[in-house]
Structure 1
């Protein structure tokens, strides 16, 4: 039995971002706005966009599930192409330090920066990373983000890098937001490999990346 089509209609504004090419400069102010907009959904695909009148005609005698969006704005989901949303710990206090002019290196020297997050992420369990990651995705979804790219890079060792990637894999499977994972093993150099950067890269290439590829 075919799935009933859905018609989102009577949107105060429908933002399409339509155009033949990427927009620059003043052209970016043209967001493809349609008043009294409508979106026709067939299965998991957007079949058509236009005014409510146009798409109701297109539906014709076909029974559609009507979703009334009167008084609302309908727009495409946002894609966040650079995030680090799976990690342990909390470094909000560093924001005020940066505002007062402290350098990133000075913050690292007193135990902050990436090394602080690496330590807390190593301590966190897979379940804890999934839980905190889900909370962040929930918040992002509230702001209209439907796809995120997420990086590892807060483990710098084999076990924790894989733990971060496994957490993102689980969230991609179970959360409404689509998650595209990126292995960022060389985010920084492990303290254990200080002054041995070449050995660290060899470790990532030969011991970590084969497992990442397999999983």
Structure 2
């Protein structure tokens, strides 16, 4: 017997493109679907709908989660992952070891900001 999960009323479903890991700039490509729903069967996403539509078989789902208009996005697996890349920080560690504060590092131009 299959176990099904329906997540409905998703304000924005943001997910990477494709069904495999990407390298380089392709890692930043993603899709944003508004007013979405998705049906998961035995841990595998079976169908994704948007614009308020529900997947086929949604009415028979074992478990239903109402996202109440919230964002749904894949989880971050690696324990030290940041949602926003702020630049490389390899020069920061030697400065910190010499007692520099983060303000000192910022003033030295060692922190890169993406706007």
Report the TM-score when normalising by structure 1: 0.32
Distance 1:36 1:17 in 2: 17
Partner residue, 1:18: 17
Structure with the bigger percentage of helix = 1
Question: 5 Å matches for 1:69-80?
Answer: 69-80=67-78
Question: 5 Å matches for 1:60-209?
Answer: 63-64=60-61, 65-80=63-78, 97-99=99-101, 100=104
Deviation (angstroms), 1:33: 0.2
RMSD between superposed Cα atoms in Å: 3.4
Distance 2:11 2:53 in 1: 13
Which structure has more RCO (C-alpha within 8 Å, separation ≥ 6)?
2
Q: Is the 8 A contact 2:38 2:48 kept in 1?
A: yes
Instruction: In structure 2, list runs of 5 or more residues that go unmatched.
Output: 82-95, 106-115
Q: 1:95 to 1:69 in 2, by over 3 A?
A: farther
**3-state secondary structure, aligned to 1:32:** strand
Q: 1:23 to 1:69 in 2, by over 3 A?
A: farther
Q: Is the 8 A contact 2:38 2:54 kept in 1?
A: no
Distance 1:59 1:38 in 2: 12
Deviation (angstroms), 1:10: 1.1
Instruction: In structure 1, list runs of 5 or more residues that go unmatched.
Output: 84-93, 102-215
Distance 2:7 2:40 in 1: 8
Distance 1:79 1:96 in 2: 33
Partner residue, 2:90: none
Deviation (angstroms), 1:54: 4.5
Q: 1:59 to 1:80 in 2, by over 3 A?
A: same
User: Larger Cα Rg: Structure 1 or Structure 2?
Assistant: 1
Report the TM-score when normalising by structure 2: 0.54
Deviation (angstroms), 1:37: 1.3
Structure with the bigger percentage of strand = 2
**3-state secondary structure, aligned to 1:24:** helix
Distance 1:23 1:14 in 2: 23
